Structure 1
């Protein structure tokens, strides 16, 4: 192989459009990439969700390795050596091989020039990037290959049709694809408080459906977009655990009150399809209030900001 062809193959590998044998990436393939190579398909994340994870990592460092193993489809961490670092794979082990549990893996679409567009995992990779750096290597699963699009206009049209992009900003207003950030992370993405609210309401008023098909991508945004129109947050003090708990409970009560076959806003999905519960789970509400919200608020107070 010539120096030029070696360099070209290295470039293709970096972009995520070729594998070690030179063949193009196919749907279902697993790719190892750095977090900084992943392009967001949404403009905002819930900062408090990321703060919760970072707060928990600070208190329980092994949790970072558990989450890292999980997003790589490897279950949880099996052993974590003294002084272990996520960037040093020899310093810890996971329960299974990469991709053994593909349902846990985050997903990408291959776009023009081989760019990888992340369709699930913005929060998880934002958190891991904040914790261990954007250069951290992770594994992702390819769900679609739109790299043959003639231009970005056609690519984004295909993404819209496949519902693989969320073109609303942190305030719920429409955005154009060119307004999307180029990287995941707190420094690049905006903060949508309703997205955090929906995260903390998970298993309280809804959960991702695990039967009858795959949960829709951007499921939490559909709930959040609906809640934005029916639950003003200015009436809650999101800087205190009790105030935040009241907001989570109010959101969950609205979720469970929605008839199972009624659409959630203009999402095109029913409450049942988005995993809506028929009754509020108070045990999970107490768990969210006592643990998740505590970690999130403490980390935000000492390290974070609200936009």
Structure 2
């Protein structure tokens, strides 16, 4: 895998992917994407694969979205040969970190590694689009925990501040030592319920403006316990659609004060944005030409 030296990273920041010294010093770090560490063991592979399929077919949107995620407003120049793995092959409208709020959040740990706290699916999507080659990526440092006494104290702090999800796709608790070393499809486990919840947004729940941390994982945990799915059911478009219909109906029919998990302190379904009725029009659109399931299954 290609490695970017600090000098090369600095040059990339100065050309095309530049950021102001003030923003960089205060909040923005640019590092190679393979150096970013996850704070959860799993992602929804189907969510990532859908996004990859969408961006593969629209290169304008690919570079536009990537530049925005870097806080650089949008794409300025690119061509048919441009690649995320070759930062000099495209340029953005503004310096990295210009729109600080657009940049994904991360923290610095006592081991000096940077741990992503938002954007695991986004990073995984871009890594897949770059064929897992390395490239520079910007993160917004919300907390510098490098001063903490140990990694044990760090992970305890992360849990207290709801900055990590230490549960595998089967609902089993994992230790921080069991987390993957990188973010991406090849490194992280697949949680099918996380993808299901992504597809059901605006259909069985509406994500609140001030959403609780790990809202999608909580809803996924509820579905795993109340509307379990067999993996083969999600292997075809028809099977996927049938399950989404069942999951949506189950979710809206549940009591709003029901907890998402067996833990008494877990949020209720109403706190997670549960809808009173299924948005059947939006649900049906998933399987229509150009709909998310049609794109996922390349139909």
Q: Which TM-score applies when normalising by structure 1?
A: 0.80
- Indicate the residue corresponding to 1:231 in structure 2: 227
Once the 2 structures are TM-superposed, how far is the Cα of residue 103 of structure 1 from its aligned partner?
Answer: 3.9
Instruction: Give the number of aligned pairs.
Output: 280
- 1:287 maps onto 2:267 in alignment: no
Partner of 1:37: 35
**How far has the Cα of 1:285 moved from its partner?**
1.4
**How far, CA to CA, are the matches of 2:158 and 2:25 in structure 1?**
18
In structure 2, the gaps of 5 or more residues are 11-18
SS at match of 2:68: helix
Q: Output the CA distance in 1 between the equivalents of 2:92 and 2:55.
A: 17
**Residues of 2 paired with 1:104 and 1:279: CA distance?**
32
How far does residue 269 in structure 1 lie from its aligned partner after superposition? 2.1
Tell whether the 8 Å contact from 2:107 to 2:141 is kept in structure 1 after alignment: yes
Q: What displacement does 1:80 show?
A: 3.6
SS of 2:63's equivalent?
Answer: helix
CA RMSD of aligned residues (A): 3.1
Counterparts of 1:47 and 1:298 in 2: how far apart (Å)? Answer: 15
The answer to whether the 8 Å contact 2:112/2:146 transfers is yes
- 1:253-292 pair list within 5 angstroms: 253-265=249-261, 266=263, 268-290=266-288, 291-292=291-292
Which residue number corresponds to residue 111 of structure 1? 109
Contact kept? 1:69, 1:76, Cα under 8 Å: yes
Equivalent position SS for 2:297: helix
Question: Matched residues in 2 for 1:142 and 1:91: separation?
Answer: 27
The residue aligned with 2:16 is none
Query: 2 CA distance for matches of 1:139 and 1:70?
Result: 11
Structure 2 residue aligned with 1:61:
59
Shift of 1:260: 4.4
**Structure 1: any 5+ residue segments left out of the alignment?**
1-6, 14-18, 300-307
Between stretches 182-191 and 100-109, larger displacement belongs to 100-109
**Taking structure 1 as reference, are residues 114 and 45 closer, same or farther at Cα in structure 2, changes over 3 Å only?**
same
2:239 to 223, 243, 247: 243
Tell me whether 1:150 sits opposite 2:149 in the alignment.
yes
The 1:255/1:105 distance shift into structure 2, 3 A limit, reads farther
Distance 1:170 1:275 in 2: 22
In 2, are the aligned partners of 1:236 and 1:246 still within 8 Å (CA)? no
- Identify if the C-alpha distance between structure 1 residues 70 and 273 changes in structure 2 by more than 3 Å, giving closer, same or farther: farther
**Distance in structure 1 (CA, Å) of the matches to 2:98 and 2:270:** 29
CA distance change for structure 1 residues 205 and 40 in 2, over 3 Å: closer, same or farther? same
The corresponding residue for 1:165 is 164
C-alpha separation in 2, matches of 1:121 and 1:72: 12
Judged with a 3 Å threshold, the aligned counterparts in structure 2 of structure 1 residues 85 and 226 are, in CA distance, closer, same or farther, namely same
